[in-house]
Amino acid sequence: MSFADRTAIVGIGESRYGKRASILDISEFALLCQAIKAAADDAGMDIEDIDGFCSFGDERHEPVRVQQALGLPRLRFSNMVWGAGGGGCSGAVMNAALAVHAGICNSVVVYRSLCQGQYQRFGQYRPRPIGGSHMAPFGLLTPAQFVALTFRRHMHLYGTSTDALAEVAVAFRSHAQRNPRAVARSPLTYEDHQASRLIADPFRLFDCCLETDGACAIIVTSRERARNLRHVPTRILAAAQASNPGWGLGPSGSHNMAIDDYATVNSRELAKALFGMAGITPSDLDVAQIYDAFTGVVIMALEDFGICGRGEGGPFAQAGNLRWPHGALPSNTAGGLLSEAYLHGLNLVIEGVRQMRGDSTAQVDNAQTCLVTSGGAQAHKSALILARD
C-alpha cells in the first residue's frame, strides 16, 4: 500500500472570501489563522495536534509565525513547494501525506492566504527576470497572454471554438450560484460571455479567474487517526507532482517545450503518475475540480488527464459534460477559481473534500472519487485523487 492511501484529509477551513482588496479590516495573517482554526474545529480535533505545516506558491506566512500565533506546542515538519502560482497546491498536500506516513509528525496543516489589497496583485504585469528582456519589450506582460498563446495553438491544431470557453465559464458560474461562499454568483449566459470585453484574445473577461482575498486550510493526518474524528475521512488515493521536459526552458516557462507538448497544460506525465498510483482510470472518476485560472486551461487539462481524447476537450465541454448534475464529469462544483474564489487552488481541494463527504452545494450523487488538479499551463504541476473512506 502506498503512502497515499494511508492518509486522509480530516479538516477543511476557510475564511470569508471577498473581491480583491476588499478585506482590509483584518490582516492577511490573522485571516490565515482563522482558516486554520476553522479547519481544526471542522475536524473535531484539538488544534494542538497540528505539528506539521505545508504550503506552496510563495506563501508569505512562515510556519513558525503560525505556530506562535496559534500557541501550538510542537513544530515537527515544515515544507514549501517551489514555484509561484497554483502548480504546487496538490504537491503541498502530497508532502503533508508523506510526512504523516513517514511518522515525522501527527497532523499537517496545508494552507494558503491571499489578500491582494494588502500585498501585490497577481495577474498584472510585474518585471520578471528573463521575461524582462525577451517578453515585456513586446508587450507580453501577463499570465492571460501567456496562456492565450498556448490556447490559440490548440485552436489552430484542433479547431477548438471559443464557444467551448463560454461553456466552461457558464457551467462553473451555474455551480457558484448554489454556493453561498462564492464571490461571483450573478447569472452568466453564453451571450454575456461572448459580449464581455476582450482581455488577451481569444480570452475575454469571463475567461479569466477572479481576483479575490481570503485564506484556506486543510488538515491531513493518518487514516487510523482519521477514523476517530468528526467527518467521514477523505482518503488521498493518489498524489503526484510532475513536469514534462522542456517546460521552464524559456522566459515564461512555457514555450520551449517539445513541439507536441505545446497545446497542453503540461500534465501528461502527471496524469500517468497519478492514475498509476490510484489504480483507477479517468472513466472511474465521479467528479473533478480542475485548476481554472483561465477557461482554456480546463479544456486542455481534460485531454492531458485522459478524460477525453487529444483535441476533444472543446466538444467534450460543449456537450455539457462538466455540468452538475447530469454531465459525465461534473467539475468545479463550487464555482472554481472562475466564480468561487482564487486561492491558488486550495479551495478546489476543499470542494473535493466536500464532495467526498457528501456536503457540496452541488453534490454529485454517491460520489466516491474526485480528481483535483493544480496549476495552469506552467512548469510545475501537481494533482490529487481523493476518495470517500
Q: Is 197 in the site for another protein (CB under 8 A)?
A: yes
Work out which of 16, 60, 152, 310 binds another protein, going by CB under 8 A: 152
Name which position in 46, 120, 138, 283 contacts another protein (CB under 8 A).
138
Instruction: Pick the binder of another protein from 55, 107, 145, 361 (CB under 8 A).
Output: 145
Cβ nearer to another protein, comparing 203 with 291: 203
Residues 6+ apart with CB under 8 A from 52: 75, 76, 77, 78, 79, 96, 99, 100, 104, 105, 106, 107, 108, 109
State how far the alpha carbon of 378 is from the alpha carbons of 57, 88, 93, 136, 149, in Å. Answer: 13, 11, 19, 18, 13
> DSSP string covering 145-159, please?
HHHHHHHHHHHHHH-
**Does position 279 bind another protein by CB under 8 A?**
no
Do residues 172 and 339 lie in contact, with contact meaning Cβ atoms separated by under 8 Å? yes
125 binds another protein (CB under 8 A): yes
User: Binding another protein by CB under 8 A: which of 71, 103, 139, 187?
Assistant: 139
Q: Does 142 bind another protein (CB under 8 A)?
A: yes
User: Is residue 267 near another protein by the rule CB under 8 A?
Assistant: no
Tell me if 255 contacts another protein by CB under 8 A.
yes
> Which residue has cell 494511508?
6
Cβ within 8 Å of residue 128, ≥6 positions away: 135, 136, 251, 252
Instruction: Pick the binder of another protein from 156, 224, 228, 230 (CB under 8 A).
Output: 156
Stretch that binds another protein, among 23-31, 104-112, 150-158, 328-336 (CB under 8 A): 150-158
Q: Hey, what's the cell of 183?
A: 464571490
**Using CA atoms, how far apart are residues 108 and 111, in angstroms rounded to an integer?**
10
**Could you tell me whether strands 203-204 and 369-374 are parallel, antiparallel, or unpaired per DSSP bridges?**
unpaired
Q: Between 250 and 358, name the residue whose CB sits nearer to another protein.
A: 250
Rule CB under 8 A: choose which of 87, 143, 251, 335 binds another protein: 251
Smallest separation, CB 159 to another protein (Å):
12
Kindly tell me which residue out of 63, 88, 202, 253 binds another protein, with binding defined by CB under 8 A: 202
CB distance 29 to 371 below 8 Å: no
Q: Which of 250, 282, 311, 327 binds another protein (CB under 8 A)?
A: 250
Q: How far is the CB of 114 from another protein (least distance, A)?
A: 21
242: Cβ contacts below 8 Å, ≥ 6 apart: 267, 269, 270, 272, 273, 381, 382
Stretch that binds another protein, among 80-88, 192-200, 235-243, 380-388 (CB under 8 A): 192-200
264 binds another protein per the rule CB under 8 A:
no
Q: Detail the DSSP E strand segments found in 223-322.
A: 234-242, 287-289
Whether 262 is a known active-site residue: answer no
Q: Assess whether the previous peptide bond of 251 is cis (omega < 30° from 0).
A: no
Selected from 127, 180, 186, 283, the binder of another protein by CB under 8 A is: 127
Site for another protein in 230-249 (CB under 8 A): 246, 249
Which grid coordinates are listed for 81?
513547494
- Contact flag: residue 258 with another protein (CB under 8 A): no
| 291 is an active site residue | yes
Q: For residue 238, give the 3-state DSSP assignment.
A: strand
User: How far apart are the two ends of the chain, measured CA to CA in Å?
Assistant: 15
CB of 46 or CB of 138, closer to another protein: 138
Q: Tell me which stretch binds another protein (CB under 8 A): 96-104, 151-159, 219-227, 285-293.
A: 151-159
102, 326, 368, 388 from 5: Cα distances, Å:
13, 29, 14, 11
Number of residues that bind another protein (CB under 8 A): 37
Residue 120 binds to another protein (criterion: CB under 8 A) = no
- C-alpha–C-alpha distance, residues 241 and 309, integer Å: 22
> For the window 315-344, what string marks contact with another protein as x by the rule CB under 8 A?
------------------------------
* Residues in touch with another protein (CB under 8 A): 124-125, 127, 130, 132-142, 145, 148-150, 152-153, 156, 197-203, 246, 249-252, 255-256, 262
Catalytic positions are 291, 342
